[in-house]
A = this chain, B = another copy of it.
Amino acid sequence: MAEPVPISRRPDPDALERVASALGARFGNRFSANSSVREQHGHTLTWTPNQPPDCVVWPHSTAEVAEIARLCAANRVPVIPFGTGTSLEGHVNAPQGGVCIDVSMMKRIVAVHAEDLDCVIEPGVTRKELNEHLRDQGLFFPIDPGADASLGGMASTRASGTNAVRYGTMKDNVLSLTAVTASGEIVRTASRAKKSAAGYDLTRLFVGAEGTLGVITELTLRLHGIPEAIAGGICPFPSVRAACDATILTIQSGLPVARIELLDDVQVKAVNAYSKLDLPERPMLLVEFHGTEAGVKEQSGRFGDIAAEFGGGPFTWATKPEDRTRLWQARHDAYWAALALAPGKRGFATDICVPISRLADCVEETCRDVAETGLLAPIVGHVGDGNFHLNVLCDDQNPDELARTKAFLERLVRRGLSMEGTCTGEHGIGQSKMKYMAEEHSTATLDMMRAIKQALDPLGIMNPGKMVSV
């Protein structure tokens, strides 16, 4: 749990007052210091306590973001970038107060270069908005975290989702970006060329930096053609291990599966109730294949053979697009479905990622741990990447349950790390996982990250109290 910040870390009250009054005068009704607005912007989907910023401003352009950043830098006031507030690890909290830059009014789709399979957008555009815009041109953007998050936030947290096994993560799908630095400079990281060897990879440095190095104000994204044919469906398995083993063999066989998602039986029950489906309440893989008609038929057949080897089946096809959409919307709503299992409890959502050879062991040990600890914690996973999620449903007013939950979450991370994995595959560090940075990385590695942070944000005002900052 994030500790209260020492009062000394708060900005100077006079400086803050100067900044707030200058922003109020400059941005008018695109500025607010209203307490409910502030609380909304310290909002987080999970258990992290709310730490609101001192004020919120809604810029329209990169130039306006730079203006705000310069003002904050001159007064040593923290800056917290905000997209849709769907972070799970406290990324948008303001432990030291400061100015929240809400990019939700930066929603222009600047250009779609269909012929180059890329587009240029502002950071407030959400993934669904972008795909709505692209559909007529036969293009799509594949990265799909559960929430309909802003693409700026998705880049900042190196987001991923159900298609990552085939299309990669935000790391692989941002060609270039524009960011405003801690001192209010405007930096464009790369050209629109598909590849370049001209300098340090600043694009990848900002992707996943969680707003601690600057505010992303424009993105050039790689797009993909909507596949000619899509086939998918559900395949129940006798156990979570069997489903994981089938996943491992699918990946090792080089089958270019587009999506391969695990739901354990608890999650399937939750999804059935929340999304009014009637899936068999057993561990299950949701799979999807993209390609030509002949290609997806061949891939599906091979997957069916693999599943059968591990006792999986019968495979049920979702042949109609609307059935497929309903199924994947249900998958994306897994978080809410889990919460609905235990009204009044909070969701402690977390994710880890391990090399796929360790996936079955890791998930199976985790299931056993959930049972032994007496917790309710549905599991979903982008298992093709070795990445899985738990949503521990916890009454955080019950000290014993809270203590058991926290101890379980620590064991989970350590289990992942002991299997050569990472403490987070896609949710990020934010505030909640800072303590694991020193377990995952060596002192020298963390020192290097801190040296970069210090060099690019010497005043420590860019989204402070997250990732590596102290």
Contact = CB atoms under 8 A, between A and B. Distances in A.
B196 A424 contact: yes
A445 B187 contact: yes
Interface string A208-224: 11000100000000001
B169 A422 contact: no
A132 interface: no
A199 B171 CA distance: 13
Interface string A442-461: 10111111011111100000
A426 interface: yes
A208 B202 contact: no
Given A195-B160, A451-B456, A187 B442 contact: yes
Interface stretch (A42-50, A328-336, A354-362): A354-362
Interface in A219-254: 224-225, 227-228, 248, 251-254
Interface in A162-198: 164, 168-169, 171-172, 181, 185-198
B158 A197 contact: yes
Interface stretch (A31-39, A93-101, A112-120, A121-129): A112-120
Work out how many copies of this chain go into the complex: 2
Given A195-B169, A197-B158, A452-B452, A225 B253 contact: yes
Interface of A: 113-118, 157-160, 164, 168-169, 171-172, 181, 185-202, 204-205, 207-209, 213, 224-225, 227-228, 248, 251-254, 292, 294-295, 298, 353-357, 385-387, 416-417, 420-429, 433, 436-437, 440-442, 444-449, 451-456, 467-468
Contact of A429 (B193, B198, B224): B198
A468 B201 CA distance: 13
Contacts of A423: 198
B169 A420 contact: no
Given A198-B437, A355-B192, A251 B117 contact: yes
A195 B254 contact: no
